[in-house]
Amino acid sequence: MSDAAHDQLASVVRQHAGQLAAALMRVTGDFATAEDLVQDAVLAALQHWPAEGIPERPDAWLFTVARRRALDGFRRADNYRAKLAQLQWPVQPADDDRLRLIFTCCHPALPRQAQIALTLRVVCGLTTAQIARAFLVHETAIAQRITRAKRKITDAGIPYRVPDDDELAARLTEVLTVIYLLFNEGYLATTGPPASRDLAEDAEWLASLLHQLMPAEPEVAGLLALIRLHRARAAARFGTDGELVLLRDQDRSRWDREAIADAVRLLTRAARRQRPGPYQLQAAIVACHAEAEHFEDTDWEQIVLLYDMLLHLAPSPVTRLHRAIAVRYATGAQAAMAELDDLAGILGEYHLYHATRAELLRELGQPDHARAADRRALDLTANPAEQAVLQQRLAWI
C-alpha cells in the first residue's frame, strides 16, 4: 500500500473509531465492551481496506462489524432486546460523547502511561501493536496497561461523563497534559519516520477535537496553537541525511508561514479571554521564534518576559533553563551562565543542561570545559538526533 493510501486509511480510522467508541459506550454502558467492539472493527478495517479499498461509508462499515460482534454478546444478556433496539444505524451520538470519552480515558485515577495508551487506542483508533511500535515498548506491556486501565474504570466505577464545573479545571489539566506528552513523544523522540502513525499528528488531531468541543477554553486553544506552531516548522528540523538542524541554522523559507499565521490568530483569540495559562505562554514564546524572518530578528527580550510569566504560573527547572538560553541572547553569555550555575544541583542529570552549558563555555572562551560538558550531555541522551549534534561538536578542533 502506498504512503498516501496508508495515510488516508489511518485518517479514516481515526476519524470514525473515536466517534463509534463514544456511541457504543453510551449504548452498552460498559467501557471495556465498547472499546473491544471498536478494536475488532478497526482490525477488520486494517485487514480488508488495503485490498478492497476504503468503503464509501467507512463509518457504516465499522459500525456493521462492531454491531455483529455486539449481537453475539447481547444474545447472552438478559436485556438483549433493549440493547438491540438501541444498536441501530445511523448512530446518533450526543454532542459531548467524544468529550466524555476523552475525559474517561484521562481520568486522574489512571496512571499517566495508561491514560496515553487508552486515549490512543480508544479515541484515535490505534491497535495495541501500533501503540507499542510508536513507543518502542513490547506489545504485551501496552496490552497490560490497557487491560489494567479498563479494569480500573470498571472496578472504581469511573463515570462516563464530562466533569462538573467545580472539577473541570483539574481534569482538563490532566487531559491537556496527556495530549502534550503525546505530542512531545512524536515530535522530539526520534529522527526518522515513525514506526507507526505520526504521534505528533495524533496529538494535533486530539487538540483540535478538544478545541471544537470546548471552544471557550483558552488553554485548549493555547495547546493547539503550540502544536501547530511547532509542526509548521517541522520541515526544516532535519537535514537531507536526517541530521537535526538547530533553530538558528534552519532554512526558514521551508517554514509553513500560512500555518504559523493561523496559529498566531488562534492564540490571539485565546488571549482576548484574559485567562493566561502555561500552554498559551509556551505558544507565545514559539510564536516569537516563528514570526522572526531571521534568527537575528528574534525578540529575545520579549521571550525572557514570557518565560518570567510562565515561571510565575508553572515553576519548573527546565523552564528556568530555557529562560537562561533566552538571557544569553538578550543580555549575554555571562549572565546566562550565572543562571545555569544556580541549576547545577537540580539539572545535573539532564542532558540539555550540559549541552547548553557547553555552548556558553565555548562562547566564553573555555573550549576544554565546553568539550567536557558536551561529553557529559552525550552520556545522558539516548536521542539519536541529539547524539549526532553533540558528536559533531566534539569533532570540532
Distance CA 346, CA 292 (A): 32
Split at pLDDT 50, 70, 90, the class of 191 is very low
Q: How many CA atoms lie within 13 A of 190 on its CB side?
A: 15
Contact call for residues 110 and 173 (beta carbons, < 8 A): no
The fraction of the chain above a pLDDT of 90, given in percent, is 47
DSSP letter at 86 equals H
Residue-wise DSSP of 98-135: HHHHHHHHT-TTS-HHHHHHHIIIIIS---HHHHHHHH
Burial of residue 1 (CB within 10 Å: 0-12, 13-18, 19+) is exposed
Q: Alpha carbon of 347 to those of 176, 319, 326, 335: distances in Å?
A: 25, 11, 18, 18
Query: At 191, is the secondary structure helix, strand, or coil?
Result: coil
What does pTM read for this prediction?
Answer: 0.78
Pick the most confident of 40-44, 80-84, 150-154: 150-154
Compute the Cα dihedral for 96, 10, 233, 352 and give only its sign: positive
Is pLDDT of 265 > 80?
yes
Q: What is the pLDDT of residue 41?
A: 82
Name the residue among 396, 365, 20, 385 with its Cα closest to residue 237.
385
Split at pLDDT 50, 70, 90, the class of 1 is low
Average pLDDT over residues 24-28: 72
Is pLDDT of 94 > 60?
no
